[in-house]
Amino acid sequence: MDVKTDFLIIGSGIAGLMFALKTAAVGTVALITKKEAMDSNTNLAQGGIASVFGLADSFNLHIQDTLASGDGLCNQDVVEMVVARGPEMISELMDLGVQFNIRAAGEGSNPNDLDLGREGGHSKNRIVHAKDMTGNAVERVLVEQVKSHPDIELYENHIAIDLITCSTRIKRGMVTTTHEDFCCGAYVLDRNSLEVKTFSSKITLLATGGAGKVYVYTSNPDIATGDGVAMAYRAGATIANMEFVQFHPTCLYHPEAKNFLISEAVRGEGGILKNTAGRAFMGDYDPQKDLACRDVVARAIDTELKKSGEETVFLDISHKSADFTKNRFPNLYEKCLTYGIDMTADPIPVVPAAHYLCGGVATDMAGRTDIQRLYAVGETACTGLHGANRLASNSLLEALVYADASARHAIEDFKQAKSAAIPDPMNWDEVGTTDSDEAIMVSHNWDEIRRLMWHYVGIVRSDKRLARAKRRIDIIQSEIHEYYWDFKVTPDLLELRNIAVVAELIIKCATHRKESRGLHYNLQYPQRDDKRWMKDTVLRRPFVG
């Protein structure tokens, strides 16, 4: 079955859903998502959306905090645009029906009476939130809107294989592209029927979220396999700053907890990090102590763990009243209880885990990639907002602002593309392939990549570790390549292929940057070097003629 649509959106987080609602005003929209629509990084976002509402706050302060966190690599124009458009985008969400926490009567500190939380690196309270389940509150409303929209067709359980550019001519997405090409859709695998469908589109948006699954310990859901970045790279788009992987300092440490985040908002409300001896240690590392930027806190915990040989540190908010904690963090409280931890009385065991990819598909201020008619938004994109280290709760904000900006441009693009003749893409060709008889290759390499990335390309890196990682990933890549061409595609194989590409890109960028900055720390070059490295790391797939 083939699908023809005006706008093809890949991914159902906040960015994809918002873009769908906006572009459906002018054309038909097909939104594909690889599991259920609610399975996204957005849905798990606990903290909130950073934006300037406080009377004591200002755009300038939010801009300065974002730039400081980004450690010299933010694009100032982008930061200014995103910060300035925040309040308007939050109001839009409220108009759609999203309910954020409001202050109790008489406590109002801003015209909307929004309750504003605090997180690391912010000089003011500015985190708009819905208790400790902000992402879920936003996602629920947007999914409902999308599902009931007559011009949006939602394809759940559909996983994109590769983008189609107008010059695609070799089977199975080994795309040969020149940079004058434009994107005209994607090959997509229906997970239920295992049929590969050709989606042709005038405009395509990558909004596939992050790539936490490249690491063995992550706060991300299973869908976070970097699909958008990998597909864009294979299609010839420019990719930037992949070395800047953000490790969230506090994920629950428990043998049965798969990927449960303990929100930074807990530290924002007074939670204190302690070592096994019960000593608060963040004062040894940064004057902002527990509310230092995330890169600093994650590295401090890593150092504490290496020094002590212990497996975990603790986050203690037991000094606050039980009523306060239960009301402010109902989800965290309940979840911790299921693991036998009462956070109102006991410190919570926590460790850092891979959380957010600051790099991604390079875009301009309208979310355009350097392949025509291909846009990228949200964690998939590298817009210049986050620089070398994302400021907490700036990601949903970025997704909202860029979904809006890119929808505006995409609509203009679409009007021009409407009359242009677009060749029908070739159908998927699986001649000569058979059903896999060696699924062990997929599961073995999946585990190996995630472990090698954790051990060799984690919070603290070195030239030797990076070189080891490169050698391993090259071997794994060639095994995957061989397998991919011989057997019919499966969802697991596609995800493995994507995490391998993303791992390779992270290793390449990390190896290239000979300094330490933001989230990238290399023992051989422990200092920031503005003379040589105040620039993005940019990668493009070598041209295949």
- Active-site amino acid positions: 294
For 461, the token pair is 């890196």
Q: Does residue 498 belong to the site contacting ligand SIN (CB under 6 A)? A: no
Those residues with Cβ within 8 angstroms of residue 204's Cβ, 6 or more apart along the chain or in another chain: 7, 8, 9, 10, 163, 183, 184, 185, 186, 373, 374, 375
Q: Does residue 47 belong to the site contacting ligand SIN (CB under 6 A)? A: yes
For residue 356, the minimal CB distance to ligand SIN (Å) is 6
Long-range contacts (CB closer than 8 Å, 24 or more residues apart) made by 453-459: 453/214, 453/215, 453/216, 453/503, 453/506, 454/215, 454/216, 454/217, 454/354, 457/245, 457/503, 457/506, 457/507, 457/510, 458/215, 458/247, 459/247, 459/298, 459/299, 459/302, 459/352, 459/521
Q: What three-state secondary structure class fits 349? A: strand
Smaller CB distance to ligand SIN: residue 266 or 466? 266
- Please give the Cα distance from 220 to 224 (Å, whole number): 6
Q: Does residue 265 belong to the site contacting ligand SIN (CB under 6 A)? A: yes
For 9, the token pair is 């959106």
Select the residue whose beta carbon is closest to ligand SIN and give its number. Answer: 47
| Nearest Cα residue to 151 out of 239, 50, 307, 23 | 23
Smaller CB distance to ligand SIN: residue 125 or 395? 395
Q: Does residue 393 belong to the site contacting ligand SIN (CB under 6 A)? A: yes
For residue 323, the minimal CB distance to ligand SIN (Å) is 21
| Stretch near ligand SIN under the rule CB under 6 A, chosen from 16-24, 103-111, 181-189, 257-265 | 257-265
Tokens 């839009």: give the residue: 92
For residue 264, the minimal CB distance to ligand SIN (Å) is 3
The residue within the footprint of ligand SIN, chosen from 263, 312, 369, 383 (CB under 6 A), is 263
Number of residues that bind ligand SIN (CB under 6 A): 9
Smaller CB distance to ligand SIN: residue 44 or 480? 44
Q: What three-state secondary structure class fits 145? A: helix
Q: Which of residues 164-193 bind ligand SIN (CB under 6 A)?
A: none
The residue within the footprint of ligand SIN, chosen from 65, 264, 290, 316 (CB under 6 A), is 264
Q: Does residue 397 belong to the site contacting ligand SIN (CB under 6 A)? A: no
For 25, the token pair is 């005003």
Containing 380, the helix (H) or strand (E) segment is none
Smaller CB distance to ligand SIN: residue 37 or 261? 261
Q: Does residue 259 belong to the site contacting ligand SIN (CB under 6 A)? A: no
Tell me if 235 sits within 8 A of 182, measured CB to CB. Answer: no
For 371, the token pair is 């392949």
Q: Does residue 200 belong to the site contacting ligand SIN (CB under 6 A)? A: no
Those residues with Cβ within 8 angstroms of residue 272's Cβ, 6 or more apart along the chain or in another chain: 280, 282, 290, 315, 316, 317
For residue 208, the minimal CB distance to ligand SIN (Å) is 18
Q: b or e along 248-260 (b: 16 or more beta carbons within 10 Å of the residue's beta carbon)?
A: bbbbbbbeebebb
Smaller CB distance to ligand SIN: residue 158 or 294? 294
For residue 117, the minimal CB distance to ligand SIN (Å) is 9
For residue 541, the minimal CB distance to ligand SIN (Å) is 30
Q: What three-state secondary structure class fits 41? A: helix
Q: What separation, in Å, do the N-terminal and C-terminal C-alpha atoms of the chain show?
A: 30
Smaller CB distance to ligand SIN: residue 27 or 47? 47
Q: Does residue 395 belong to the site contacting ligand SIN (CB under 6 A)? A: yes
Containing 8, the helix (H) or strand (E) segment is strand 2-10
For residue 355, the minimal CB distance to ligand SIN (Å) is 6
The residue within the footprint of ligand SIN, chosen from 24, 183, 196, 392 (CB under 6 A), is 392
| Stretch near ligand SIN under the rule CB under 6 A, chosen from 110-118, 263-271, 298-306, 496-504 | 263-271
- Please give the Cα distance from 428 to 507 (Å, whole number): 31
Q: What is the CA radius of gyration of the chain?
A: 22
The residue within the footprint of ligand SIN, chosen from 12, 28, 46, 259 (CB under 6 A), is 46
Smaller CB distance to ligand SIN: residue 204 or 220? 220
For residue 133, the minimal CB distance to ligand SIN (Å) is 10
Q: Which of residues 333-372 bind ligand SIN (CB under 6 A)?
A: 356
Tell me if 300 sits within 8 A of 286, measured CB to CB. Answer: yes
Q: Does residue 210 belong to the site contacting ligand SIN (CB under 6 A)? A: no
| Stretch near ligand SIN under the rule CB under 6 A, chosen from 31-39, 261-269, 270-278, 414-422 | 261-269
Smaller CB distance to ligand SIN: residue 353 or 501? 353
Residue 356 pairs in a beta bridge with 246
Contacting residues toward ligand SIN, per CB under 6 A: 46-47, 263-265, 356, 392-393, 395
